Structure 1
């Protein structure tokens, strides 16, 4: 490694296989995630619109994943060539798109679980709360809050990268530019709280469904789909967000390689989020004119099936 400043430690070609592996992973995520999220967003807007709170939340989740996928070509280029010709501003933007995706995705996934939980447990009393307008307001607050909280982080990262006058080590040694422990620890605690909310929602749903009598095969199949909604949400958290969260609580020394691996892993979440859309919205792949209301699933699909 060659060193100019503490935040300008640049990679050499001695570990080129590791960087090439990162380029391959990001390339695969790009090839799968970009068309999949583009298709999902198109289906959500065309077939479901924004007529229900769940659809509104999923549209915002798809937008967040799509923004991450659009930044991946820059990561592929950097790890394939170990060269960054685009300047510190572009590097800062690409890094922050990933961080914003982690934060917004975790919030939107949790909101989807909470929305589904309320729809199942309180299908009638929640009608005034579970509206598209309310979901739009919640999503707007999430985006504004996350972007505002990221502004100091953006400034620190940009100023750190500006010190690298000759070679910009974009995406590498990102943790070295973070002098304060407050923000990483706060983010880790917040993500852990969201994980607990998802776990609690899953447990409550399983208990509620067990207490409700089954009435035929259709009813049982619907119960399984409902459980899958929460299980998929919880697994996304545990597999993709939890390792990255634990890393935030670790000391900075000697964790650059671990950070690189965990960022690759967290990026894969944008390829699996469409599973959430599939299990959460009844008849996800059908045109809105062909969908029919199922009395047995009224509490979960009434908002989707009303024209």
Structure 2
């Protein structure tokens, strides 16, 4: 969220509630450098394979290609973030004046981050829902046509761009000076906008999470009633949905839970020094964990390759089974 590029080394809910987080600049530099290398190689490989695929695309292929494109947005922003943290670490260690990148830098990095974060969330859900209709409602093939998948993907991009531009806009509306790349949660002037952004972020996570869980439970319920010989046909579907669930909940759940606790303590809606300290210390870790989704998403492509490349049994515009 907006508090990921922080300038202060200590927080203070109360006079005696402080914690040192000076490690975060070096941690971010190392973790983002590793994510950048693996993210570029893995997603470039996926996009290259999609470009070389025959034109018999499936709906799964459309969602996977858009997922890889969303990851590329974040990967492209990482050099800017690494440069930012390198300068922050240098000014902190040398005790020089605080380095500020300016408003345009903040807007760009925030926008690219949210395009990847919520593009990844929404397209992961699309893959899960696509598998839901393939198994639970196989007769509704019109919902899984390539044209429908492209239209749905276009709508998701519009939603992601609107969300990604809204959050930096809230930052700009609350900050009159370009002193840092964050809103100060301790400033009462920012509380309303901070909470509005928090609510928007949490909804953008919770609704897809519930939809993904519903799709998975419905798929599992149907497959449990099938004879063993028919279950084998859906082995790839189960593998894909397992990986989607792992990537989704391992990468995004810790980030959003930590963000909720961190923000509520910072705006003093929750008076807990221990929670404030823990969430502050964990914030760089869970943010980097959320960022690793751009490295893990290509694994979903690997395990769904038969669904992506399989030519439809019906019309060429339909999706695979």
Give the TM-score band, short-chain normalised: 0.7 to 0.9
Aligned to 1:10: 7
Q: What is the DSSP-based 3-state SS (H/G/I as helix, E as strand, rest coil) of the residue aligned with 2:142?
A: coil
Aligned to 1:273: 297
Stretches of structure 1 lacking an aligned partner (at least 5 in a row): 1-5
For 1:25-64, what aligned pairs fall within 5 Å after superposition? Answer: 25-47=31-53, 49=55, 51-64=57-70
Aligned to 1:210: 224
Alpha-carbon deviations, 1:84-135, whole Å to 9, x = none? 5653212221122212222121111111111111112233x22222111111
Aligned to 2:30: 24
1:118 equivalenced with 2:133 (yes/no): yes
Alpha-carbon deviations, 1:35-59, whole Å to 9, x = none? 1011111112322557222111111
In 2: Cα distance, 1:48 partner to 1:63 partner: 19
In 2: Cα distance, 1:7 partner to 1:261 partner: 11
Give TM-score, length-normalised by structure 2. Answer: 0.75
Q: What is the DSSP-based 3-state SS (H/G/I as helix, E as strand, rest coil) of the residue aligned with 1:128?
A: helix
Aligned to 1:109: 124
The offset of 1:81, in angstroms, is 2.9
In 1: Cα distance, 2:301 partner to 2:245 partner: 14
Alignment size in residue pairs: 281
Contact 1:8–1:163 under 8 Å retained in 2 = no
Contact 2:170–2:197 under 8 Å retained in 1 = no
Distance verdict in 2 for CA 1:77–1:303, change over 3 Å: same
Aligned to 1:261: 285
In 2: Cα distance, 1:96 partner to 1:8 partner: 13
Aligned to 1:186: 200
Aligned to 1:93: 108
Aligned to 1:199: 213
Distance verdict in 2 for CA 1:183–1:87, change over 3 Å: closer
1:303 equivalenced with 2:319 (yes/no): yes
The offset of 1:157, in angstroms, is 2.3
In 1: Cα distance, 2:307 partner to 2:212 partner: 24
Q: What is the DSSP-based 3-state SS (H/G/I as helix, E as strand, rest coil) of the residue aligned with 1:303?
A: coil
Aligned to 1:236: 247
Distance verdict in 2 for CA 1:292–1:147, change over 3 Å: closer
Q: What is the DSSP-based 3-state SS (H/G/I as helix, E as strand, rest coil) of the residue aligned with 1:163?
A: coil
Distance verdict in 2 for CA 1:110–1:16, change over 3 Å: same
Q: What value does the CA root-mean-square deviation take over the aligned residues?
A: 3.2
Q: Tell me whether 31-40 or 151-160 shows the greater mean CA deviation.
A: 151-160
Stretches of structure 2 lacking an aligned partner (at least 5 in a row): 11-19, 92-98, 267-275
Q: What is the DSSP-based 3-state SS (H/G/I as helix, E as strand, rest coil) of the residue aligned with 1:282?
A: helix
In 2: Cα distance, 1:271 partner to 1:244 partner: 16
Contact 2:141–2:319 under 8 Å retained in 1 = no
Contact 2:38–2:295 under 8 Å retained in 1 = yes
The offset of 1:12, in angstroms, is 6.1
For 1:131-210, what aligned pairs fall within 5 Å after superposition? Answer: 131-158=145-172, 163-165=177-179, 168=180, 170=181, 179-180=192-193, 181-210=195-224
Contact 2:118–2:204 under 8 Å retained in 1 = no
Query: Higher relative contact order by CA 8 Å / sep ≥ 6: 1 or 2?
Result: 2
Alpha-carbon deviations, 1:20-45, whole Å to 9, x = none? 12211111100101110111111123
